[in-house]
Amino acid sequence: MLNFIKPIELIKTSGNILILTHKNPDGDAVGSVLGLGLMLDGLDKNNRVILKDEVPKVLEFLPGREKIKYAEDLADDDLIGAGYDLVILVDCAELERTGIREVNKIIESSKNLLIIDHHPEREIKEESFYNVAKIVNSESSSTAEMLFELFAEMKIKITKEIAQCLLTGIFTDTGGFQHANVSPRTLEVAAELMKKGPRINKIAQNIFNSKSIPAIKIWGRVLARVKVDSESGMSISYIDKQDIKECGASYDELSGVVNIINTISDSKFSLLLTEYQDQKIRGSLRSEEYKGVDVSKIAQDLGGGGHKLASGFELRGSIKESLEFIRGKLRK
């Protein structure tokens, strides 16, 4: 059983709250921070949602979108001197994963930290906090599902807007309820959220069926380059900065294409390498339960992390150098 006593106490006794999530936010991260922020609005709690990277275009339909502020747009005094009573770290468990520069200085005036996460638990490094509470459950489909449980424990009335955010978080992190992380409770929670008004077909329309022409072009390049490494069973493709420029695409329009690569029948797992800056490569890994590969172990060995079936990492170097490095790791 999850212990909600301390987290609820921290929320109730805090008046000025900062909400953070990981860089390159996905549907679960965005849906969760917005759902949490809207809930705190209902409690008349002053709260701010600050992100490092922009919200993907496919998630701009979510209510509460205007709550999000970006760290690079805020002055240092606005970031550092806000005096938060509580920092809530959502969908990740380490402050450095936020990607926000000098994040420790931003929140040094706060002594209260609440972590809400469904990734495998890691040791907390934030020793500067004297009061740390955690709601961590790696068996949950998503952080959004965990927030539903927290709100229920707090007897929060979930509005249509909050439900839309949480349902989107669950929908995206389960691949539209197709992944192995879907449990009977996941479907029960989704059903309860749908009773508040949001529809799954509308979420699916925004997430899966609203591709722009540049997105279709960039997906075409990814799929045209797919190869299967016979030694490791890895299906792999890549995109570089020039591809993005020539297609007129944005990086968030690559979301979901690694899952298509993962459908190749004779591969054990998939990898998409993306050059997002000069000499900076982002890797996305996917697998399926029946394939028997825990990609989180691969990601951790490369300095990243994530779930058993969906993980990521970052490397320095060219795409060619990164691929050679990864293959060397896999041989070991």
One-character DSSP codes across 116-166? EE-SPP-----TT-SEEEEEE-TTSS-HHHHHHHHHHHTT----HHHHHHH
**What pLDDT shows up at residue 135?**
94
d(CA 313, CA 311): 7
Return the CATH class of domain 213-331: alpha beta
Return the DSSP state at 281: E
Name the DSSP class of 54: P
Q: How far is the C-alpha of 121 from the C-alpha of 39, rounded, in Å?
A: 25
Task: Please provide the size of the chain in residues.
Answer: 332
Confidence band for 83, pLDDT divided at 50, 70 and 90: confident
Give the pLDDT score at 100.
86
User: For the chain, which residues make up each domain, given as ranges?
Assistant: 5-207, 213-331
Q: Is 35 exposed, middle or buried (0-12, 13-18, 19+ CB in 10 A)?
A: buried
pLDDT tens digit sequence for 174-195: 989 988 899 999 999 999 999 9
Strand intervals (E) in the chain: 16-21, 46-51, 68-70, 86-90, 112-117, 131-136, 227-229, 234-239, 269-277, 280-286, 305-306, 310-316
Q: What is the pLDDT of residue 64?
A: 95
Distances (CA, A) of 314 to 24, 52, 93, 285, 318: 12, 16, 18, 11, 12
Please check whether residue 71 is in contact with residue 52, taking contact to mean a CB–CB distance below 8 angstroms: yes
- Of all residues in the chain, the percent with pLDDT exceeding 90 is 70
Q: What is the pTM of this model?
A: 0.87
Residues 131-175 have pLDDT tens digits of 889 999 989 999 999 999 999 999 999 999 999 999 999 999 998
The pLDDT of residue 1 is above 80: no
> For the domain 5-207, what is the CATH code?
3.90.1640.10
